[in-house]
Amino acid sequence: MSSPARQTLDLFVIGGGSGGVRAARFAAGFGARVAIAESGRFGGTCVNVGCIPKKLFSYAAHFRDDMDDAADFGWTIGETRFDWPTLVANKDREIARLNGVYERLLVNAGVEILRSRARLVDAHTVEVDGVRRQAKYILVATGSWPQRPSIPGAALAISSNEAFALERLPRRAVVVGGGYIALEFASIFNGLGVETTLAYRGARLLRHFDAELGERIAEELAHKGVNIRLNAPPASIARGADGALEAAFGDGKRVAAELVMLATGRIPNTRDLGLEAAGVRCEVDGRIVVDRMMKSSVDSIYAIGDVANQHNLTPVATAEGTAVARTLFNREATAMDYENIPTAVFCNPNLATVGLSEAAARKRLGAVDVYRTAFRALKHTLGENDERLFMKLIVDPATDRVVGAHMIGPDAGEIIQGVAIAVKLGATKAQFDATVGIHPTAAEEFVTMREKAA
């Protein structure tokens, strides 16, 4: 009789991020024999160099505004000082705790853990540390990796990966990019007292979001002290004689800084995985081509998360992992539904959205009704903080359904999460209007907008 390590597995998972871990433990829960290979830390990008540490850093950066607001409510704030090493150490402790949580979930589910890199050999074979393992199904869940532009001196810059372990904060920083990672780190650096420039090659930030969100968040970031430079593609990065960096841009401008971060996109982490040998079809950028059930061009090989590049969000990867486990081991064919997935950008102020942008709605539906409002939150009325909240609803006039909801303001992600349920269920504008608001809150504005925008 063969040893357990040599038995044919039902599922071999390559990658221990949120999606891979979810698929592994759910499959094991359905009775499958499962192994997972991860050479790094469990939790993937989200837990280690993404969502979790980024949100913790975002909280830290918001405290400066909170202390300023406190004075307007009668609080006397003494001398304040920020200590970067304390934040990093506390963050590291929390990430280590979460790494342990993920590993315990796998152990308790009966999943075999291999702390090494795995490569595909063929449609049913995986090699780990020179040992080949057979599996009925293989799931690739290896995430994505920061992409650097091909410019001189790109190696002198950091990516978001390295930002979480800086030994010290720079006095001046340049963040290159216009997506959510760039905005979040520009806000973090700025909130922690770093002189920050945000440079983007396009004409507006957040090009995949509703246009008004990109325009208005640029105004809010600039108001808080971030130097916004649009239509400024990166051209080169050089180090001067004094050790400082200088970033040059396509418009001829140069910016000096101690740190340059390139937040210029991520690519699927599929290099040297043996996908070609197994016959798995990939796009030019490395993305594994999958169908609605997350199956690749090879019937026994599936892919989820950033390597499949459908929607690069942690909750999407975990949902995809659940769907694969149900499909393969619970006789419950489950396809992913990518309609109305909410998302947030944890810059300062926060930004969140669900459903269609105005432009996408017009392209799909033709005419649409738009409702919007902008105002100062009650919290800011006692002082000079003139940060403005922005809310917008997109409505299909043919059905009265709310097809898009967008917000800029404190806790936008918390608010849009609730609104997303209504949008997902197909709620109408009349039903929004019939909902009694909670007063006084910012969220109540989503059920009190009555006037259509011109």
User: Any idea which residues carry the catalytic annotation?
Assistant: 439
**What DSSP letter does each residue of 98-126 carry, written as one string?**
HHHHHHHHHHHHT-EEE-S-EEEEETTEE
Laid out side by side, the sheet with 195-199 consists of 227-229, 195-199, 172-176, 259-262
| Residue (of 256, 241, 235) closest to 170 by Cα position | 256
* Residue 302 near residue 294, CB atoms below 8 Å: yes
- Exposed/middle/buried for residue 337 (C-beta within 10 Å: 0-12, 13-18, 19+): exposed
In the numeric block, the tokens 């509703």 are attached to: 210
* Residue 305 near residue 141, CB atoms below 8 Å: yes
Q: Which helix (H) or strand (E) holds 316?
A: helix 314-329
C-beta neighbour count of 160 within 10 angstroms: 22
Residue 91: strand, helix, or coil: helix
Q: What values do phi and psi take at 295, rounded to 5? A: -90, 135
Q: What is the 3-state secondary structure (H, E, C) of 181-219?
A: HHHHHHHHHHHCCCEEEEECCCCCCCCCCCHHHHHHHHH
* Residue 233 near residue 150, CB atoms below 8 Å: no
